[in-house]
Amino acid sequence: MFKNHPKGLLAAALSNMGERFGYYIMNAVLTLFLCSKFGLSDATGALIYSIFYSGIYVLSLVGGIIADRTQNYKTTIMSGLVVMALGYVLLSIPILATPDNKVGLLALTCGALFMIAFGNGLFKGNLQAIVGQMYDNFEAEAAKEGPAALAQAKEKRDSGFQIFYVFINVGGLIAPFVAPLLRGWWLKVNGLIYNSSLPALCHDFLNGNLTSSEDMIKLAEVVKASTVNGLIPGDMAAFCTNYLDVFNSGIHYSFLASVAAMLISLVIFIATKKIFPNPGKKEAKEVVNYTAEEKQAMATEIKQRMYALFAVLGVVIFFWFSFHQNGASLSLFARDFVDTSKVAPEIWQAVNPFFVITLTPLIMWFFARLARKGKEISTPRKIAIGMGIAGSAYLFLAIYSYIQGYPSAEEFRAMDIAAQTAAKAGWWVLIATYFFLTVAELFISPLGLSFVSKVAP
């Protein structure tokens, strides 16, 4: 797999895999955790998730500026891992949210998310810049051997970024299982059973929002099904408080695995950093006097590259806008409209990285075959095709939901348990949706990373 690729690719992929493993533990549960921990509405939980993700992308620009200004990409990357680890440490503290501390605790959680977003900005883009520099150097060395060697080296860049992308998703495949398994174990230790609808009911009861006899009967039925002994507790308020504490503590403990993943990634990077290039360092040592005509030609080329870069970025914004619904609307859909008795809603996020790992070799083979036949698809065209496939994923889900006559989430929660159970979708619905999204992702993301590394000035 790594034959005829830069020797630092494996080390970079492993370091990135560790960081992504820790990140995807948190990402898989974030929206649902905010709702279960603080009793937030789905809309508010998704809003915080969205702000967090926007922070990740904005702070990636800040991380790039810091690395460019300091010309020390490696230290910037290591600093990012440390900052993220500290953010996960804050998230791992299992403090029960009460009316007295809820505001302060939510602020602490948002502060931890900011640290993770900032650390991600220092780490992710700069590591990808190093991988891009590896291939720049790889191609420069090949150019010394002649045009044929250079052409062969250039062909390796796209496949190299696809390999790099697979390693990201190895971590992403395992990570979504961590929090649900720890949460389920901790609930069982305390004589409780996981129920995705119970945290919202507990918050509603403690806040005095369950006033009708139908609401109380529904709560009693869910509580009875969520205890090992199958009994309804005498003190419902104490039970609800305890269930929320145990339920969310199990998720808090999973963030310790994220801390460990950051440290492992840091160790891998420190142990192998000598083989990584430092983007921009070589150029800083070289002093070349260009003529006015050469400077004008270079300026024109840079403008053309920037136009191409911003054109692609302007398009893929809409892909990531739809793709990152996996941690928001798709997670909420899985919680409410898919049977969670055997598979927790967070675990469905493992479907995407599973498809990435299994489909990447097929996609690579398909693109290579087209290239051999002289029918290679340009990167912008691949991205356009990917956008169309991504749209089909949500078109499928929208049509299915319309045919099934699904109510809003609020109306769904007001239904009795029998009606809710009858409305649940089969597992195949999410798998089909994630399949389309993953194929679209493979047409866009790894090739987009490769494209940016080629055209960025």
Q: What is the pLDDT of residue 455?
A: 67
CB-facing half-sphere around the CA of 313: CA atoms within 13 A: 11
DSSP state of 424: P
* Each residue's pLDDT expressed in tens, for the chain with a length of 457 residues: 667 788 888 999 999 999 999 999 999 999 999 999 999 999 999 999 999 999 999 999 999 999 999 889 999 999 999 999 999 999 999 988 888 899 999 999 999 999 999 999 999 989 988 988 888 888 887 888 888 777 777 777 777 887 888 888 888 899 999 999 999 999 999 999 999 889 999 999 999 988 888 889 889 999 998 998 888 888 999 999 999 999 999 999 999 999 999 999 999 999 999 999 887 665 544 556 667 776 677 777 777 777 777 777 777 888 888 888 988 999 999 988 888 878 899 999 999 999 988 998 888 888 888 888 888 787 778 888 999 999 999 999 999 999 988 888 778 878 888 888 888 888 899 999 999 999 998 888 766 666 666 666 6
All domains of the chain, ordered by start, with CATH?
9-280+291-455 (1.20.1250.20)
Indicate yes or no: pTM above 0.95: no
Q: Are 275 and 11 in contact (CB under 8 A)?
A: yes
Q: What is the pLDDT of residue 206?
A: 92
Taking the C-alpha atoms of residue 393 and residue 403, their distance in angstroms, rounded to an integer, is: 16
Strands (E), 132-246: none
Q: Are 251 and 33 in contact (CB under 8 A)?
A: yes
Q: Are 85 and 263 in contact (CB under 8 A)?
A: yes
Q: What is the pLDDT of residue 250?
A: 93
* Residue range 221-237, pLDDT digits in tens: 999 989 988 888 889 99
Amino acid at site 25: I
Q: What is the pLDDT of residue 447?
A: 64
Q: What is the pLDDT of residue 286?
A: 54
Q: What is the pLDDT of residue 177?
A: 94
Distances (CA, A) of 364 to 163, 283, 436: 10, 33, 17
Q: What is the pLDDT of residue 233?
A: 87
Q: What is the pLDDT of residue 367?
A: 82
Buried b (16+ CB within 10 A) or exposed e, 182-202: bbbebbeebebebbbbbbbbb
